[in-house]
Chains A and B, each alone.
Chain A
Amino acid sequence: LAKTTQPISMDSYEGQEVNITCSHNNIATNDYITWYQQFPSQGPRFIIQGYKTKVTNEVASLFIPADRKSSTLSLPRVSLSDTAVYYCLSGSGNTGKLIFGQGTTLQVKP
């Protein structure tokens, strides 16, 4: 499974759009890109997944350029409750086995 690289931390203010970029230079043809969110003392929670171009759901958008070597998670109009650690993962396989990196700690300020 390909290794991912993402910023260790980011700060934002309520109401702003937050973009977290992840690098996955060695992504394989069959790999998908997945993002999880984790609050303190809880297990990670799935946010969004994509293979190429753009994917949007009720909480986020995921932008993947044509070369797929990076991806950007976009959180529109963040609130204090979006303060969490965000993990980017790339991988594939029948087992759904995932390798989590260190994640990005997002701090949303009032």
Chain B
Amino acid sequence: DGGITQSPKYLFRKEGQNVTLSCEQNLNHDAMYWYRQDPGQGLRLIYYSQIVNDFQKGDIAEGYSVSREKKESFPLTVTSAQKNPTAFYLCATRQGWTGELFFGEGSRLTVL
């Protein structure tokens, strides 16, 4: 099946720990995105990548890091520098510069 796979679906972290969320796609899309969603709010852009080995900061990049070593993969690391990391994280892809986004099923991170 073509699509976007995010893992894990649920993740618990102790304060001070880094965690990495996985996003893999087999749609052959160039652009990949990470969004954060908090209850009752819209999506906020963390990082995006429009080509392998290149990525750009979004509106709320502080405390997060990414890599794009392969077209299929765009992992997000939530570092200990992110002060309020509990949220729902969504990965998305897009074929070109404009047009619709395709989303994974999300990863819910809870800090204990």
Partners in one complex: no
Write the residues of chain B forming the contact surface with A, with a CB cutoff of 8 angstroms.
Answer: none
